[in-house]
Amino acid sequence: MEVVIVPDAKAGGELIAEAMAALLRRKPDALLGVATGSTPLPVYEALARKVRAGEVDASRARVCQLDEYVGLPAGHPESYRATVLREVVEPLGLPEASFMGPDGSAEDLPAACEGYDRALAEAGGVDLQLLGIGTDGHIGFNEPCSSLASRTRIKTLTQQTRVDNARFFDGDLEQVPHHVITQGIGTILDARHLVLLATGEGKAEAVAQTVEGPLSALVPASALQLHRHATVVVDEAAASKLKLADYFRHTYANKPSWQGL
């Protein structure tokens, strides 16, 4: 695993946006897997800036979603479909057709889950999957004790995750759905390059468990240890519990291999 320690969230956003831009220069119709939540916003802002500045042509990029709430009415502003359209697809100037995600309002949810895994494979697979991490170590919405081989399916959110996400619903826990569709850990591991971004002290314990702890169903993000090309980008606060922080600084600072340096 490459662990890149950056000074702050903005620097992390810039670094990952440059990795996405480099990918798009190499493969203009790359399939970018995106995450929602607060952490990835600096990435999307930096990538949109690069597109506006003409540093990269993203017009053929394709975007796919990691997860979706179940049961929110269509068009709800906090549905992940609406969020990704607002935060990623529109700022990059992409057509809605360039975007794919699981349908959290489908009548047959298991069929929608299977269909989404199939659609990802038919699209040629995800080239770069951006991930955040929950304070409980989840990736996507694969909560602790998720199968490390899981595919896209319905999951129940932990109370901790619902509390963490209540800020997107006016702080009202009652409004946070209990169920989601999420790419499984096995689905996520199919992506060619995984890039996890974590910022802030609240993520430090989960990051340390992910990077230095044992592979464990209790920490779903530790499954990144199984991937051939996983990059973990952390700010100083999120890196504060890493025993090997100095080694990572020495080895990866400013020269993660995925930048081709």
Nearest to ligand F6R of 14, 56 (CB atom): 14
Shortest reach from residue 139's CB to ligand F6R, in Å = 6
Nearest to ligand F6R of 39, 150 (CB atom): 39
Active site residue 67: yes
- Per-residue binding letters, 66-105, with ligand F6R (x by CB under 6 A): xx--------------------------------------
Please, what's the b/e burial string for 80-105 (b: 16 or more CB within 10 A of its CB; e: otherwise)?
bbebbbebbbebbebeeebbbbbbbb
37 near ligand F6R, judged by CB under 6 A: yes
3-state SS, 219-249, equals EHHHHHHHCCCEEEEEECCCCCCCCCHHHHH
Contact at 8 Å (CB) between 116 and 152? yes
Encoding tokens for residue 62?
A: 């394709």
Active site residue 250: no
Shortest reach from residue 221's CB to ligand F6R, in Å = 9
Site residues for ligand F6R, 128-147, by CB under 6 A, read 132-134, 138-141
Taken in order 52, 55, 61, 64, the sign of the CA dihedral is negative
210 near ligand F6R, judged by CB under 6 A: no
Amino acid residing at 254:
N
Residues binding ligand F6R: number (CB under 6 A): 14
Nearest to ligand F6R of 56, 130 (CB atom): 130
Q: Which one of the listed residues 87, 143, 190, 235 is annotated catalytic?
A: 143
Residue of 13, 20, 31, 36 interacting with ligand F6R (CB under 6 A): 36
Shortest reach from residue 260's CB to ligand F6R, in Å = 27
Q: Is 180 helix (H, G, I), strand (E, B) or coil?
A: strand
Q: Which one of the listed residues 14, 136, 190, 235 is annotated catalytic?
A: 136
Neighbour order of strands in the sheet with 99-100 = 2-6, 230-235, 193-198, 128-131, 31-34, 62-65, 99-100
Active site residue 138: yes
Task: Say what the alpha-carbon torsion angle 26, 28, 32, 36 is, to the nearest 10 degrees.
Answer: 120
Site residues for ligand F6R, 48-67, by CB under 6 A, read 66-67
Chain centre distance of CA 205: 18
Q: Which one of the listed residues 14, 18, 67, 117 is annotated catalytic?
A: 67
38 near ligand F6R, judged by CB under 6 A: yes
Query: How far, CA to CA in Å, does 3 sit from each of 65, 231, 234, 247?
Result: 24, 6, 7, 9
Residue number closest to ligand F6R, CB atom: 132
Residue of 39, 98, 187, 231 interacting with ligand F6R (CB under 6 A): 39
Q: Are strands 179-182 and 67-69 parallel, antiparallel or unpaired?
A: antiparallel
Could you list the residues that contact ligand F6R (CB under 6 A)? 35-39, 66-67, 132-134, 138-141
Instruction: Just list the catalytic residues.
Output: 67, 136, 138, 143
